[in-house]
């Protein structure tokens, strides 16, 4: 079932047994799809990931990107052929509508495909991801002329795209940006300023690059309210679609980074010679609102980047643990003739592996569900249902991004532990997974900023209904699991964690109006982690409930009416082994992680403010 990167069986379980996305195929906009087509597309994505993208993983890391003497950025050579094949396969615009050159894939289905791609090489995937996102902004807000000029060529992969927000003095605080836009008589604008850390800011994969750039029109107010967004091509495009003069966009630098070295992270200087021309996208001073469309998509993609790395690290660690022979088993301690065993036989290694498995399956469920919620919002037939599912996606976006990336860092680190000294060396891929995944905690808004977004904005959104709807989902899972033999005690553990978390959330809501409003801000990051833990507990237990029922059906069908016969089936039947693992991961998470939720909620509720009361000099 495993290709060394992603457990395809678990993907299929989530999509078709847990979320039942085949229900989406019953009517518009997904009536052209069927379960068979979906499985075929996932299989094609797997082939693309394993045969085309994966071979670029280590090579792209070793070669990295560089700025040549002509001022052009060169990406790893092996990316060129892979990028061409990826675009020819229609993957760059897979979720976009067929009317604009896409495949109209349900987001949840594409999410499963993108897990393969991200696990194979996320640095490579950055070029297509940013291009698709930037083209989508033009699709949503551009004029017909802009669409004809830029969008189609971006969706086909002929031209690249970026997102240009960050400046040296404006990172988390985007409103502090200094890039300016000066009106020209023809309605266009002269753009002047420096953007830093721009992914795919320059590259030699495409013949032109289209930059959506945040800037302030001269005279507009400070802060985010005064920001507009402009389409700035690297090379100007003539009215007949041919390439014209360079547009005064220079590369100041390519960063030397800890990871994702194949992704070109550039400083871009716009208008050094006063000749950089941009076109307004949408309305003036609506730049942040417009850019948020791309940022929200990108945040979910970063969650998938985290999942892909965690998944690949776990799959490698399990495989290695089954093969690496080291140390005699603890129960043979006194036997001088005992033989060394595969390290997966040692309890400490097994414990780490099961924690990794539970976490990978948990964050897979969180990310797939957020994608499914976006599909359901399109599919919904009533405004209430639409609002409910959009609400899930909005609420979960900061959790998908921040919780997945924080946990993926831990999973990749544990994978190195499983490999021992070999894990720390380049000979094996796990050290690269850990280096590559760390950026997921930082870009698209740091995880600290995601936590503030959750506490400060998302909890209260839609008069708190989004959180209440999610709470109802968790409560339903608890109720269903309580009725399944063998899961009752684990449902009780989720219930205890859930009550403590709901209580903390209510406390936060009441503190918002008092002088203790700093408590939620101070504890936003631990709160986000608690939310993630409760959601993982919920999705795993929901999965366990289904898996347990399937097991009973298989046992009955095969006449496995004793424990011995059932144990034997685990070794003979991969389906039984999969379902057993699904149940075990849920039980483990409920037994080991969920009981800490209540204590961590209590810690926050104590209301200690030591970090903010302590003098800066005392740090």
Ligand X SMILES: Cc1cc2nc3c(=O)[nH]c(=O)nc-3n(C[C@H](O)[C@H](O)[C@H](O)COP(=O)(O)OP(=O)(O)OC[C@H]3O[C@@H](n4cnc5c(N)ncnc54)[C@H](O)[C@@H]3O)c2cc1C
163 in contact with ligand X (CB under 6 A): yes
166 in contact with ligand X (CB under 6 A): yes
Binds ligand X by CB under 6 A, chosen from 112, 135, 137, 164: 164
Query: In the range 229-268, which residues lie near ligand X by CB under 6 A?
Result: 257, 265
Closest CB to ligand X among residues 200, 247: 200
* Smallest distance, ligand X to C-beta of residue 451, A: 9
Closest CB to ligand X among residues 163, 277: 163
DSSP strand pairing (243-246 vs 160-161): unpaired
Closest CB to ligand X among residues 30, 443: 443
Give me the residues paired with residue 58 across strands.
none
287 in contact with ligand X (CB under 6 A): no
* Smallest distance, ligand X to C-beta of residue 263, A: 7
Whether residue 466 contacts residue 421, with contact meaning beta carbons closer than 8 Å, is answered with no
* Smallest distance, ligand X to C-beta of residue 52, A: 24
In angstroms, the CA 333 to CA 224 distance is: 65
CA dihedral 214, 216, 220, 225 (to 10 degrees): 30
Binds ligand X by CB under 6 A, chosen from 198, 345, 497, 504: 198
* Smallest distance, ligand X to C-beta of residue 170, A: 7
> Of 463, 455, 464, 451, which Cα lies nearest the Cα of 512?
455
Whether residue 353 contacts residue 318, with contact meaning beta carbons closer than 8 Å, is answered with yes
In this structure, the number of other CB atoms found within 10 A of the CB of residue 571 comes to: 9
For residue 9, the SS3 value is helix
Closest CB to ligand X among residues 105, 130: 130
210 in contact with ligand X (CB under 6 A): no
Question: Residues with Cβ < 8 Å from 144, sequence gap 6 or more?
Answer: none
- Reading the block at residue 57, the tokens are 């993983």
For residue 139, the SS3 value is helix
105 in contact with ligand X (CB under 6 A): no
199 in contact with ligand X (CB under 6 A): yes
Catalytic residues: 444
* Smallest distance, ligand X to C-beta of residue 174, A: 8
Count helices and strands in the chain by DSSP H and E runs: 20, 12
Looking at residue 484, what DSSP letter applies?
A: S
Binds ligand X by CB under 6 A, chosen from 87, 304, 449, 576: 449
Closest CB to ligand X among residues 39, 442: 442
Closest CB to ligand X among residues 94, 449: 449
Q: How far is CA 482 from the centre of its chain?
A: 31
Binds ligand X by CB under 6 A, chosen from 4, 55, 104, 448: 448
Query: In the range 317-376, which residues lie near ligand X by CB under 6 A?
Result: none
In angstroms, the CA 288 to CA 445 distance is: 14
Position with the least CB separation from ligand X: 171
In angstroms, the CA 474 to CA 13 distance is: 19
Closest CB to ligand X among residues 2, 516: 516
Closest CB to ligand X among residues 197, 314: 197
* Smallest distance, ligand X to C-beta of residue 171, A: 2
Per-residue contact flags (x/-) with ligand X for residues 113 to 152, judged by CB under 6 A: ----------------------------------------
509 in contact with ligand X (CB under 6 A): no
The interface region with ligand X, picked from 166-174, 303-311, 410-418, 479-487 by CB under 6 A, is 166-174
The interface region with ligand X, picked from 16-24, 156-164, 225-233, 356-364 by CB under 6 A, is 156-164
Query: In the range 405-444, which residues lie near ligand X by CB under 6 A?
Result: 439, 442-443
DSSP H/E element including 393:
helix 383-419
In angstroms, the CA 337 to CA 329 distance is: 12
The interface region with ligand X, picked from 25-33, 157-165, 564-572, 597-605 by CB under 6 A, is 157-165
Q: C-alpha distances in angstroms, 372 versus 27, 55, 174, 256, 365?
A: 15, 30, 30, 37, 10
172 in contact with ligand X (CB under 6 A): yes
Closest CB to ligand X among residues 211, 357: 211
Binds ligand X by CB under 6 A, chosen from 171, 262, 423, 537: 171
In angstroms, the CA 358 to CA 585 distance is: 5
In angstroms, the CA 361 to CA 462 distance is: 29
DSSP string, 74-125: E--THHHHHHHHHHHTT-TTTTS-GGGT-----HHHHHHHHHHHHHHHHHHH
269 in contact with ligand X (CB under 6 A): no
Give me the residues paired with residue 210 across strands.
161, 233
> Of 118, 131, 120, 86, which Cα lies nearest the Cα of 305?
118
- The residue ranges that bind ligand X (CB under 6 A) are 162-166, 171-172, 197-199, 257, 265, 439, 442-443, 445-446, 448-449, 452
């Amino acid at each position: 079932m495993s290709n060394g990167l992603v457990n395809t069986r678990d993907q299929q379980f989530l999509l078709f047994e847990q979320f039942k996305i085949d229900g989406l195929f019953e009517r518009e906009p997904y009536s052209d799809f069927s379960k068979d087509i979906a499985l075929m597309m996932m299989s094609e994505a797997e082939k693309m990931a394993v045969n085309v993208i994966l071979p670029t993983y280590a090579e792209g890391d070793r070669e990295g990107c560089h700025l040549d003497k002509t001022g052009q950025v060169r990406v790893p050579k092996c990316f060129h052929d892979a990028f061409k094949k990826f675009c020819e396969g229609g993957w760059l615009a897979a979720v976009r509508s067929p009317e604009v050159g896409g495949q109209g894939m349900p987001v949840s289905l594409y999410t499963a495909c993108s897990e393969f791609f991200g696990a194979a090489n996320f640095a490579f995937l950055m070029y297509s991801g940013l291009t698709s996102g930037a083209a989508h902004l033009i699709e949503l807000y551009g004029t017909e002329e802009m669409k004809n000029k830029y969008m189609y060529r971006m969706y086909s992969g002929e031209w690249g795209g970026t997102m240009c927000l960050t400046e040296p003095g404006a990172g988390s605080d985007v409103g502090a940006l200094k890039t300016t836009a000066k009106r020209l008589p023809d309605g266009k604008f002269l753009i002047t300023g420096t953007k830093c850390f721009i992914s795919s800011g320059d590259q030699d994969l495409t013949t032109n690059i289209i930059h959506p750039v945040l800037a302030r029109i001269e005279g507009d107010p400070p802060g985010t309210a005064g920001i507009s967004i402009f389409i700035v091509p690297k090379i100007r495009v003539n009215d007949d679609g041919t390439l014209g003069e360079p547009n005064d966009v220079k590369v100041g630098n390519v960063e030397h980074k800890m990871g994702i070295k194949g992704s070109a992270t550039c400083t871009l200087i716009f208008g050094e010679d006063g000749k950089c021309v941009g076109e307004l996208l949408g309305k003036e001073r609506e730049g942040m609102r417009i850019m948020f469309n791309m940022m929200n998509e990108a945040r979910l993609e970063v969650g998938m980047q985290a999942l892909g790395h965690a998944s690949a690290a776990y799959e490698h660690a399990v495989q290695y643990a089954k093969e690496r022979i080291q140390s005699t088993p603890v129960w043979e301690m006194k036997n001088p003739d005992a033989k060394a065993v595969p390290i997966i036989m040692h309890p400490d290694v097994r414990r780490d592996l099961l924690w990794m498995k539970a976490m990978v399956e948990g964050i897979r469920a969180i990310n797939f569900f957020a994608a499914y919620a976006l599909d359901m919002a399109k599919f919904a037939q009533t405004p209430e249902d639409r609002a409910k599912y959009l609400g899930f996606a909005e609420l979960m976006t900061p959790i998908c991004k921040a919780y997945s990336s924080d946990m993926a860092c831990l999973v990749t680190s544990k994978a190195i532990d499983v490999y021992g000294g070999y894990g720390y060396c380049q000979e094996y891929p796990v050290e690269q997974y850990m280096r590559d995944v760390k950026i997921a905690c930082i870009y698209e808004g740091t995880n600290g900023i995601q936590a503030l977004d959750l506490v400060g904005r998302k909890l209260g959104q839609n008069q708190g209904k989004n959180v209440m709807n999610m709470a109802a989902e968790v409560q339903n899972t608890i109720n269903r699991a309580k009725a399944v033999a063998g899961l009752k005690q684990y449902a009780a553990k989720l219930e205890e964690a859930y009550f403590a978390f709901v209580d903390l959330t209510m406390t936060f809501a009441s503190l918002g109006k008092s002088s203790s409003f700093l408590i939620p801000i101070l504890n936003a990051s631990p709160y986000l982690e608690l939310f993630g833990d409760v959601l993982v507990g919920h999705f795993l237990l929901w999965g366990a409930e289904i898996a347990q029922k399937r097991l009973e059906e298989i046992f009955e069908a095969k006449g496995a009416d004793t424990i011995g016969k059932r144990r034997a089936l685990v070794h003979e039947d991969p389906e039984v082994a999969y379902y057993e693992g699904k149940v075990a991961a849920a039980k483990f998470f409920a037994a080991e992680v969920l009981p800490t939720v209540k204590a961590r909620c209590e810690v926050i509720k104590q209301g200690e403010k030591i970090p903010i009361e302590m003098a800066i000099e005392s740090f």
